[in-house]
Amino acid sequence: MKRAHIIGIGGIAMSAIAQCLIQLGYKVTGSDLHHNDLVEELRNQGVEITIGHQAENISTKIEKVICSDAIPETNVEIVKAKEYGLDLLGRSDALAWITKEKRVISASGTHGKTTTSSMIAYLLEEGKKEPSFIIGGILNNFGSNFRANQGDYFVLEGDEYNKSFLKYPSDIGVITNIEFDHPDIYADMAEVFDTYHQYVDGLRECLVTNQQVIEQLGLKIEEMSIEVVTVGIDDNQAEFNAINIREEELSSYFNVEYQGEEIGEFKINALGSYNVKHALEAMAVAKYCGLSFEAIKRGLRLWQGVKRRFEILDDDESRIVISDYAHHPSEVEAVAEILERIKSNKKKVLIFQPHQYIRTKSLFEDYKGILDKEIDEKVILKIYKVREAVENEDLEKLGNKLSQMVSKGDTAYYNRFEDLKRWLDQYKQDNQAIYLFLGAGDIDTFAREWAQRD
Contacts of 438 (CB under 8 A, 6+ apart): 324, 326, 327, 332, 335, 336, 350, 351, 352, 353
| Ligand-binding site membership of 99 (annotated) | no
Query: Exposed e or buried b for every residue in 145-175, given b needs 16+ CB within 10 A?
Result: bbbbbebebbbbbbbbbebbbbbbbbbbbbb
Distance CA 21, CA 40 (A): 17
Distance CA 241, CA 49 (A): 48
| Ligand-binding site membership of 411 (annotated) | no
| Ligand-binding site membership of 355 (annotated) | no
Distance CA 20, CA 18 (A): 5
Distance CA 265, CA 271 (A): 16
β-partners of residue 157 are 107
Give CA angle at 318 (317, 322), nearest 5°: 95
| Ligand-binding site membership of 115 (annotated) | yes
DSSP 317: S
Q: Is the dihedral of CA 294, 297, 302, 303 positive or negative?
A: positive
Distance CA 116, CA 332 (A): 18
412: burial class by Cβ within 10 Å (0-12, 13-18, 19+)? middle
CA distances in angstroms from 255 to 86, 262, 266, 269, listed in the order given: 54, 7, 6, 15
| Ligand-binding site membership of 110 (annotated) | yes
CA distances in angstroms from 96 to 23, 46, 72, 99, 147, listed in the order given: 17, 25, 21, 5, 16
DSSP 346: S
Helix, strand or coil for residue 71? coil
Strand ranges in 16-79 using DSSP code E only, listed in sequence order:
27-32, 48-51, 64-67
Q: What share of the chain is helix, strand, coil (3-state, %, to 5)?
A: 40, 25, 35
Long-range contacts of 23-27 (CB under 8 A, 24+ apart): 23/148, 24/98, 25/1, 26/1, 26/2, 26/63, 26/64, 27/1, 27/2, 27/3
CB-hemisphere CA count at 13 Å for 396? Answer: 6
* Residues composing the chain: 454
| Ligand-binding site membership of 109 (annotated) | yes
| Ligand-binding site membership of 114 (annotated) | yes
Which residues line the annotated binding site for ATP? Answer: 109-115
Annotated binding site: 109-115
